[in-house]
């Protein structure tokens, strides 16, 4: 039995990369969906199900109108800035959007009587973990404003849930999300992508002349950073599991979303070369400020509590779906030329 069929779900940032894949999964589950997105990094065409309202989280009037008019049973909150390097250069931008606007959303939801929220968090809240794989009860010690802005919002959620029995939440801490819809309908489409796999694939496609590797002297086996790459569709299924948990009366909780093992930058480059057949040129540079040497998830909690079982734990599959998407995106750009 599909417990989510017919449920009314508001998705902030649902026109973006991860949000659009979750909207796709919600639509396939039969949910009624309202997407609220300012389209600063999202795209209209990425919303495959439901209705799109174009609006900014900082616009309290528009946000309240959307929430009250739609009367959602739960909210999935994606809308945020996500670039680590940019957060170091412009921290106020991140605290304003990722924390202050999240607080504003919670105030609107409380006023409208909406008591269930899934929060898009990040492994960046851990900073440089003392042990790998990292568990949810590890200290939160973010080393960049992006991670700090998300950790602050998590604290607000925890305090709100503790003080208000009518509010419950699930925070999902993403590790490195990659890949695309296997049918190539949606995928990453940022103006200035910073994700390694996307940059590497765009280099293979000739969009960039070379791929820069940020740091080769980390305390890892090959000197490059190690990350836990999770396919975006597996992450979407984690959101649906969390939604079912909350709507079924489950308690507030925090869950890691990853596969429990990592790949180095050099290993990712090798897979990209194999999948694309292109020997992409690589330039080795200095470390990037705010990057921890390794981030790998212990996701045993979400598996045990929600029964989440990933289906795409395969770096080559992740890269292949992302490569198919890059080629589809390039074809779309050609077809749209006057």
- Known catalytic residue: 146? yes
| Nearest to 290, CA basis, from 121, 149, 85, 94 | 85
Per-residue 3-state assignment (H helix, E strand, C coil) for the chain: CCCCCCCEEEEECCCCHHHHHHHHHHHHCCCEEEEEECCCCCCHHHCCCCEEEECCCCCHHHHHHHHHHHCCCEEEECCCCCCHHHHHHCHHHHHHHHHHHHHHHHHHHHHHCCCEEEEEEEHHHHCCCCCCCECCCCCCCCCCHHHHHHHHHHHHHHHHHHHCCCCEEEEEEECEEECCCCCCCCCCCCCCCCCHHHHHHHHHCCCCCCEEEECCCCCCCCCCCEECEEEHHHHHHHHHHHHHHHHCCCCCEEEEECCCCCEEHHHHHHHHHHHHCCCCCEEEECCCCCCCCEECECCHHHHHHHCCCCCCCCHHHHHHHHHHHHHHHHHHHHHCCC
Q: Which two tokens stand for residue 55?
A: 């609006």
> CA 252, 74, 242 angle in degrees (round to 5)?
45
Gap between the Cα atoms of 169 and 131, Å rounded: 27
User: Catalytic pick from 126, 146, 229, 259?
Assistant: 146
Supply the residues annotated as catalytic.
146
């Amino acid at each position: 039995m599909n417990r989510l069929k017919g449920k009314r779900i508001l998705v902030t940032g649902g026109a973006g990369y991860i949000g659009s894949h979750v909207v796709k999964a919600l639509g396939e589950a039969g949910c009624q969906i309202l997407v609220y997105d300012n389209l600063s990094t999202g795209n209209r065409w990425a919303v495959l199900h439901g209705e799109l309202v174009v609006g900014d989280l900082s616009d309290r009037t528009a946000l309240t109108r959307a929430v009250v008019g739609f009367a959602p049973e739960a909210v999935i909150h994606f809308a945020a800035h996500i670039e680590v390097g940019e957060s170091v250069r412009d921290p106020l931008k991140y605290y304003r959007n990722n924390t202050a606007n999240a607080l504003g959303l919670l105030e609107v939801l409380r006023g409208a009587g909406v008591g269930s929220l899934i929060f898009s968090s990040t492994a960046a809240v851990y900073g440089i973990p003392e042990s790998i794989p990292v568990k949810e009860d590890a200290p939160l010690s973010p080393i960049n404003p992006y991670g700090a802005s998300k950790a602050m919002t998590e604290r607000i959620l925890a305090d709100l849930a503790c003080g208000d029995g009518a509010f419950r939440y699930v925070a999902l801490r993403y590790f490195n999300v990659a890949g695309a819809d296997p049918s190539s309908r949606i995928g990453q489409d940022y103006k200035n992508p910073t994700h390694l796999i996307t940059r590497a694939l765009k280099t293979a496609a000739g969009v960039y002349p070379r791929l820069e590797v940020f740091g080769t002297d980390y305390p890892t086996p090959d000197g490059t950073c190690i990350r836990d790459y999770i396919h975006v569709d597996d992450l979407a299924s984690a959101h649906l599991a969390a939604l079912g948990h909350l709507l079924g009366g489950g308690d507030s909780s925090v869950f890691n979303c990853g596969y429990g093992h990592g790949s180095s930058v050099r290993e990712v480059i090798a897979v990209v070369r194999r999948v694309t057949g292109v020997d992409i040129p690589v330039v080795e540079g200095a470390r990037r400020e705010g990057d921890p040497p390794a981030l790998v998830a212990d996701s045993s909690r979400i598996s045990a509590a929600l029964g989440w079982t990933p289906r795409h734990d395969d770096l080559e599959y992740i890269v292949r779906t992302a490569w198919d998407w890059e080629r589809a995106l390039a074809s779309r750009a050609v077809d749209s030329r006057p």
